[in-house]
Amino acid sequence: MSAIETHPLPPFIPPNAKVLILGSFPPPKLRWKMNFYYPNFNNDFWRIVGLVFFANQDKFIDKHNKTFIQDDIEDFLINYGIAISDTAYQIKRLHNNASDKFLEIITPMDIAAILEKLPNCTSIITTGEKATQILCETYATAPPKVGQSVDLKIHQKPITLYRLPSSSRAYPLRLEYKAESYRQAFAAIGLLLDMRC
C-alpha separations of 22 from 63, 72, 129, 184 in Å: 26, 20, 11, 17
d(CA 134, CA 106): 11
Domains located in the chain, CATH noted: 4-189 (3.40.470.10)
Burial class (CB in 10 A: 0-12, 13-18, 19+), 10: exposed
* Inter-CA distances, 49 with 3, 156, 176, 182, Å: 33, 30, 11, 8
Contact 147, 182 (CB under 8 A): no
The yes-or-no verdict on residue 132 having pLDDT over 80 is yes
pLDDT in tens, 60-99: 999 999 999 999 999 999 999 999 999 999 999 887 665 6
**What is the average pLDDT score of the chain?**
92
Q: How many CB atoms lie within 10 A of CB 96?
A: 11
DSSP 8-state code for residue 171? S
Calculate mean pLDDT across residues 142-146: 94
Whether the model pTM is above 0.85: yes
Task: Provide φ and ψ at 7, rounded to 5°.
Answer: -55, 130
Confirm if 88 and 105 have CB atoms less than 8 A apart: yes
